[in-house]
Chains A and B, each alone.
Chain A
């Protein structure tokens, strides 16, 4: 599954397509959406009897990790959750969106809207790859949506760590690769530690699907993605601050994803409250 998605995205959403997408904000590639559908990205957890792939959350998490790595645009989580409920969603024929943490992504481009988006106000999105509307109030987050978002964050964290390491190996200053300086090595090492730790949390949550595991995964994956993008930017020096280099897209998307499950403080409160419950 994971290799299939990675291969599809490498072929259909490589650096050139990414650049094109950035220059055409608000436009979604429907052909790619259908190919994702055909590859089972949306129907993954739908039982075979209902025309789905019949896999579970652990596999879905791997697929969403790949999407996060590639910066794949679109309301992926909402469409995935709509498979089997909204005609055409599973096959990638319909683009489905809905409220997530007081925001709606891709409202203008969606064929179907699930949930209450009354009073949605467009805003000038910080991320050129995610059109946004703001809602007057935020509903309670769906646990699967929280987990799949964490998986995307994890993929992004893995990617920014790789980019940083690649650059540290090849960029030379003072007659040696900048990765030979411990200050840079330590930035990269911390990126890996955060990513690995977040991965353990996300994969465990995919197996248990328990609220504490899911919210723990969310907190760690948010941190790994946001700090990973920032450290990757730092390792790239001036180049990291440019529009052309992809790291800003990782950071901006990661910022948006940190809002999908509502404020992080709510997850922290939930984790704190769980300390007083009977041990699981």
Chain B
């Protein structure tokens, strides 16, 4: 792993840091979790500012090192999180960049970078969660369109999304993994119905999506017909391998804040708590190194992260939960107050061992695909 930086990279860091110091103080506070239109506007607005300042392309155009510097500096300065732009910037966009045609890249990528369009992910179905290849949403050809019928569940940001990366079954007769296609579907197409679902944190972060004779142009298919499982693996590699990179840096910032808070309240005098924070500090430093390594590895492997993404995803999900459990130790009885910082984050951390593939599934992947152990099912 190369930890040295070229003069251009050093210059990029300094320029970005100065820019952030200039714009962040004037930024309004983020809208509350229930205010979805507000959140959409806020998240897109921030992406637009990045774009206008020349930082729009860091996710795909720039070198991995520049992308990592970008993540370090934005997190360190406390810049807004990608939020509603998550799917577009971090896995739908990268999938289109890697697998889409020239026309598709030109159509979909610039609006993501300019903060104009929100994407969501329509993979999971009521009967196809861990067993994603069991998905049953059907698409049959009608001229130059697919007609789609079925339903999706747990679709994050569906309420405010313009586009959905949608997995459909195009050949019900083929073996499960060979009859799937990856489509880009407009969320305002006739026949799309979104029913928001409330999470245990109280807000409606995800939704059920019902698809009733929805027409999707064949030109909106990414990858070949019935080759969607391969494209899906590309999407999941980005989702597990690199999409969390910014959050890993953010966790390091949270750790510093926790230490400062513990010092302020006297909780720092508890040696067990201090050591827990120290242990987490070691872990998150290592996770950041692992992230850097994954991003570099992805670049060498033609842009797509490998199966080692599951290692990061697994370690990070559990570390994040321990981080917020430790935050509760710092807060004491105030950890029961939703108005305190970190309390909602603690609740949402509970989803990390489920979303993007459960920890049990990640362990199966590590055991079978990395270690080569026999398949257990």
Is B20 part of the contact surface with A, judged by Cβ < 8 Å?
Answer: no
A68 within 8 Å of B (CB atoms): no
Interface residues of A in 70-117 (CB under 8 A from B): 101-103
Closest to B128 in A: A173
Q: A102-B333, A126-B338, A173-B130 are in contact. Are A241 and B270 (CB under 8 A)?
A: no
Q: Flag whether B200 is at the interface (Cβ < 8 A).
A: yes
Q: Are A103 and B199 in contact (CB under 8 A)?
A: no
Of A126, A176, A238, which is within 8 A of B336 by CB?
A: A126
B337 located at the interface, meaning its Cβ lies under 8 Å from any Cβ of chain A in the complex = yes
Q: Are B129 and A243 in contact (CB-based, < 8 A)? A: no
Closest residue on chain B to residue A130 by CB atoms: B336
Check A244/B198 contact, CB under 8 A, given A126-B343, A174-B377. yes
Query: Quick check: is A242 within 8 A (CB to CB) of the other chain?
Result: yes
Count of chain B residues near A, Cβ 8 A: 39
**Interface check A56, CB cutoff 8 A:** no
Chain B residues, Cβ within 8 Å of A251: 350
How far is it, in angstroms, between the C-alpha of A256 and the C-alpha of B335 when the chains are bound? Answer: 9
Q: A234-B353, A265-B270 in contact; A241/B334 too (CB < 8 A)?
A: no
Q: What is the CB-to-nearest-CB distance from B25 to chain A, in angstroms, rounded to a whole number? A: 28
CB pair B336 A234 closer than 8 Å: no
Does B350 contact A103, Cβ atoms closer than 8 Å? no
Alpha-carbon gap, A134 to B131, bound state (A): 45
Q: A173-B130, A238-B154 are in contact. Are A103 and B336 (CB under 8 A)?
A: yes
Known interface pairs A173-B129, A173-B131, A243-B200; A238-B337 also in contact (CB < 8 Å): no
Within 8 Å of chain A (Cβ to Cβ): is B358?
Answer: yes
Q: Which residues of B contact A210 (CB under 8 A)?
A: none
Q: Which of A134, A184, A242, A248 contacts B334 (CB 8 A)?
A: A134
Contact B351 A259 (CB under 8 A): no
Are A123 and B339 neighbours in the complex by a CB distance under 8 Å?
yes
The answer on a CB contact under 8 Å between A126 and B337 is: yes
Q: Does A40 contact B (CB under 8 A)?
A: no
CA distance A217 to B179 in the complex (A): 55
Write out the residue numbers on chain A whose beta carbons fall within 8 Å of the beta carbon of B104: none
Any chain B CB within 8 A of the CB of A124?
Answer: yes
8 Å CB contact of A243 from B202, B354, B355:
B202
Residues of A within 8 A of B200 (CB): 241-243, 248
B153: CB under 8 A from chain A?
yes
Q: Do A242 and B134 touch (CB < 8 A)? A: no
Chain A's closest residue to B359 (CB) is A234
- How far is A190 from B192 in the complex, measured between Cα atoms in Å? 43
Residues in A whose Cβ lies below 8 Å from that of B124: 238
Residues of B within 8 A of A132 (CB): 336-337
Contact A241 B354 (CB under 8 A): yes
Write out the residue numbers on chain A whose beta carbons fall within 8 Å of the beta carbon of B358.
234, 237
Closest to A264 in B: B329
Determine whether B63 belongs to the interface, using a CB cutoff of 8 Å to chain A: no
Complex Cα spacing A255 to B200, Å:
14
Q: Are A174 and B131 in contact (CB under 8 A)?
A: yes
- What 1/0 mask marks residues of chain B from 309 to 342 whose CB sits below 8 Å from any chain A CB? 0000000000000000000100011111111000
Q: Which residues of B contact A244 (CB under 8 A)?
A: 197-198
Q: Which of A236-275 contact B (CB under 8 A)?
A: 237-238, 240-244, 248, 251, 255-256, 259, 263, 265
User: Is B289 interfacial (CB-CB < 8 Å)?
Assistant: no
Question: In the complex, what's the smallest C-beta–C-beta distance from B373 to chain A, in angstroms?
Answer: 13
Q: Does B272 contact A (CB under 8 A)?
A: yes
* Interface of chain B residues 332 through 377 with chain A (CB within 8 A): 332-339, 343, 347, 350-351, 353-355, 358-360, 363-364, 376-377
Among all A-B residue pairs, the 7 with the closest Cβ atoms:
A248-B200, A243-B198, A123-B337, A183-B360, A173-B131, A124-B338, A238-B154
Task: Name B's A-contacting residues (CB within 8 A).
Answer: 124, 127, 129-131, 134, 153-154, 197-200, 202, 206, 270, 272, 328, 332-339, 343, 347, 350-351, 353-355, 358-360, 363-364, 376-377
Known: A125-B337, A126-B338. 7 other contacts (CB 8 A): A103-B336, A123-B337, A124-B339, A125-B338, A173-B131, A238-B354, A251-B350
